[in-house]
């Protein structure tokens, strides 16, 4: 475009004005002097051209600078430096208007994305607060019910007093579980949690968790086993977090396992990584639920989960732990047959030096 840069605009304007002035001055001098003076058009053209060019360039520069300064201040939240206020610094050979136009469009685009992100965050926050209060309501009302019954004379009734206190205690335990899980989630989501990555024997970590949960599993007649005897397998992980992950997966296999079933842990070598699978022969999960399983508070069967003391947060914590390790988790399941949760972990090479 002819006026695409400030310099081109000033040059064109100067040309138009100086041609007009030269013509007018030449005609006037011709009429006044009665003859043509050769230097009049040359001198008037040159003088007007130079003057108009510099004046126009300065005016355009000043004008654009004043307008652009406001736009830039707005879009980049920039403060214009003191020296810039008195001395505009516009490159006259750049197509500034088009550049500003595209920068503003880009800025508007970014703002749109930011607004969308904030809207999602706001929805998530509302949903989250709603879910948390809903989860806490049940145990709180239960506790209130038991305490009121005890106060209304139940305390003196030996057939119910101990039983109601035990029920109140299990509701309190449920609340503690919810709060602890919420704490873990909030630590992960706020980025406060820094992993303590070390070389650790994953077989040992899994065995420790199996021992810790053996009693719980026994109550349902479920056996917790390693697929075979393994030599130590070293991985780079935060041991405590991986234990928390195993605990959640194995506890689920007990909660949703069939009585007298079996939970099996297997390890597979995958070159750079180790694949760990936790397999149960429990109730399984329908395909349609699998993609949402790791969402907070997502449950396939709400009443079964609550009955089993589930918070609906276990798998989302597992996902956070795995993502913090930059690894992946997958799930395969067949209703009535069982489920397999697989995670990958970074292997330590046999002669790797640990810094």
Specify the residue, 44 or 316, whose C-beta has the smaller distance to ligand ADP.
316
Cβ of residue 342: shortest distance to ligand ADP, in angstroms? Answer: 12
Binding residues with ligand ADP: total (CB under 6 A): 24
Specify the residue, 239 or 312, whose C-beta has the smaller distance to ligand ADP.
312
> How many Cα atoms occupy the beta-carbon half-sphere of 280 within 13 Å?
26
Specify the residue, 41 or 284, whose C-beta has the smaller distance to ligand ADP.
284
Cβ of residue 300: shortest distance to ligand ADP, in angstroms? Answer: 3
Specify the residue, 25 or 132, whose C-beta has the smaller distance to ligand ADP.
132
Specify the residue, 157 or 301, whose C-beta has the smaller distance to ligand ADP.
301
Nearest to 277 by CA among 310, 241, 245: 245
Q: Assess 178 for contact with ligand ADP (CB under 6 A).
A: no
Q: Assess 299 for contact with ligand ADP (CB under 6 A).
A: yes
Q: Assess 312 for contact with ligand ADP (CB under 6 A).
A: yes
Q: Assess 41 for contact with ligand ADP (CB under 6 A).
A: no
Find all residues with CB under 8 Å of 254, minimum gap 6, and list them. 213, 216, 217, 220, 222, 263
Helices (H), the chain: 6-33, 39-76, 82-86, 96-151, 161-189, 202-219, 239-255, 287-290, 302-307, 314-324
Q: Name residue 278's beta-bridge partners.
A: 265, 341
Q: Assess 332 for contact with ligand ADP (CB under 6 A).
A: no
Cβ of residue 177: shortest distance to ligand ADP, in angstroms? Answer: 8
DSSP calls for 146-182: HHHHHHTTGGG-TTTHHHHHHHHHHHHHHHHHHHHHH
Q: Name residue 332's beta-bridge partners.
A: 340
> Does an H or E element contain 82, and which?
helix 82-86
**Residues 228-287 within binding reach of ligand ADP (CB under 6 A):** 248, 252-253, 255-256, 280, 282-285
Tally Cβ neighbours within 10 Å of residue 184.
Answer: 20
Q: Which residues bind ligand ADP (CB under 6 A)?
A: 248, 252-253, 255-256, 280, 282-285, 293, 298-301, 305, 310-316, 339
């Amino acid at each position: 475009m002819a006026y695409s840069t400030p310099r081109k605009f000033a040059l064109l304007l100067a040309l138009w004005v100086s041609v007009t002035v030269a013509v007018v001055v030449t005609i006037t001098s011709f009429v006044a002097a009665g003859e043509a003076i050769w230097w009049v058009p040359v001198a008037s053209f040159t003088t007007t051209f130079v003057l108009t060019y510099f004046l126009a360039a300065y005016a355009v520069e000043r004008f654009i600078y004043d307008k652009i300064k406001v736009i830039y201040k707005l879009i980049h939240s920039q403060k214009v430096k003191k020296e810039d206020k008195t001395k505009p610094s516009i490159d006259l050979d750049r197509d500034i208007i088009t550049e500003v136009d595209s920068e503003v469009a880009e800025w508007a685009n970014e703002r749109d994305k930011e607004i969308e992100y904030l809207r999602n965050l706001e929805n998530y926050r509302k949903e989250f607060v709603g879910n948390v209060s809903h989860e806490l309501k049940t145990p709180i009302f239960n506790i209130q019910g038991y305490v009121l019954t005890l106060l209304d004379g139940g305390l003196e009734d030996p057939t119910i007093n101990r039983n109601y206190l035990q029920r109140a205690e299990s509701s309190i335990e449920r609340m503690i579980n919810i709060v602890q899980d919420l704490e873990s989630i909030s630590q992960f989501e706020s980025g406060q949690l820094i992993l303590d990555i070390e070389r650790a024997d994953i077989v040992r970590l899994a065995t420790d968790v199996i021992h810790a949960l053996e009693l719980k599993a026994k109550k349902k007649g479920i056996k917790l086993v390693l697929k075979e005897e393994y030599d130590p397998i070293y991985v780079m992980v935060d041991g405590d977090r991986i234990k928390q992950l195993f605990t959640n997966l194995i506890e689920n296999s007990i909660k949703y396992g069939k009585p007298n079933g079996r939970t099996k842990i297997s390890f597979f070598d995958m070159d750079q990584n180790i694949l760990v699978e936790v397999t149960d022969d429990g109730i399984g999960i329908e395909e349609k639920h699998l993609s949402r399983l790791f969402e907070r508070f997502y449950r396939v069967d709400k009443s079964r989960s609550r009955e089993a003391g589930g918070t609906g947060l276990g798998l989302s914590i597992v996902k956070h732990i795995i993502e913090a390790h930059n690894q992946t988790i997958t799930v395969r399941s067949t209703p009535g047959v069982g489920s397999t949760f697989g995670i990958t972990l970074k292997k330590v090479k046999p002669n790797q030096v640990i810094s």
